[in-house]
Structure 1
């Protein structure tokens, strides 16, 4: 599944999805001061499709417990080891981030259990078989656009980042967070940007450089991320619920 930001940022086009057909409509280019394109804002309108999955809000208290989520990944461990061996890849031990997702999610009013399940989906149970590397502590593909970073990326507007916590490492894909808790909080902040136009909770430091690129407050429920977090994105939010989260209750 191709991240929506690849299309939105690198091709500068509108994405239309209708009856299984993806159409790219190129916008008229405007003069730029520099040849390097800056990331564009993420689209306001999601892709519409029918769904039988129950609607669950992104905001709210966690429902799955720490123990349930830990049992979920433990049950998948042998399967993932076999899968990685079949691909000639080493198995990456699961990072101990369940409680971080639950605790940080609670601080932002975001369902940390479902955010953790989104991380499972984005990283392939933390095996990172895509472009982002395990050491980057980037659990949701933030700033992974399909092209390696130059190390000279700029932030939007007045946004600032602590380079001791968040880095644009030249030659790597996506942001690198110095500690797992920074990567988790950046993920939670990105979801927070989607569900509300409010400022960050008092005392919180911005760790998500993509925060200001989101059309704020446009995604109330997990299925609202369809066509926004990924393109075409059909069933993206439903998959987080059905293929990951629900397994925690079995």
Structure 2
């Protein structure tokens, strides 16, 4: 990996480098540091059994490497967005939002960062906020961290009535009836008109957990 590329990737570079060293094949790309411990695997299983796997407020369970692996297997441009897993983990933890769900929602909304819909890369709008179809591009944010923060705040608005920790950056936060969608399944028909919206995100989430060795 060239030094210039390493520096551009930033905090996500070490994780990507670890995957690259283990080979291009997705099956071979298993970083031993990211394999789940027994307790983490049990935590996922207990959430599945309790029906809490789609609860928006809560802690994520994956590592940065595991999130990067999901992007890599879906041909996301990691040379540009290698820092996103770290940003999602940091921003979501501050607000108490499950970063696994937020990250998988981003994967759906952006087509794994291919941006083949109405929203364009320069908007830094990873949650499709304000993009309602028919060419309406939605909101734009100054940089990717602010864009992620807006998505996290939008999720928190739906999931709970708890106040925000960080200053408000989501321009549509006040339009949401707070606490109406604490579960991922309740975002369908709210965040998006697609009644299968939650199922599509859940499919990506389950794939992430499978790749991470949780089940």
- Say which structure, 1 or 2, has more relative contact order (CA 8 Å, 6+ apart): 1
Match of 1:74 in 2: 72
Greater helix fraction, Structure 1 or Structure 2: 2
Q: What's the RMSD between the two structures over aligned residues?
A: 2.0
2:151 to 187, 199, 204: 187
CA distance in 2 between counterparts of 1:132 and 1:115 reads 17
Structure label with greater radius of gyration: 1
1:199 CA drift (Å): 2.1
Structure 1 segments of 4 or more deviating over 3 A?
91-94, 145-148
| Secondary structure of the structure 1 residue equivalent to 2:74 | helix
TM score, norm. by length of structure 1: 0.59
1:147 CA drift (Å): 6.5
Match of 1:128 in 2: 115
Greater strand fraction, Structure 1 or Structure 2: 1
- In the TM superposition, 1:1-250 aligns within 5 A as 54-55=51-52, 56-77=54-75, 95=81, 96-146=83-133, 173-201=137-165, 204-231=166-193, 233-242=194-203, 244-249=204-209, 250=211
TM score, norm. by length of structure 2: 0.68
CA distance in 2 between counterparts of 1:140 and 1:182 reads 12
Maintained 8 Å contact 1:92/1:127? no
1:105 CA drift (Å): 0.3
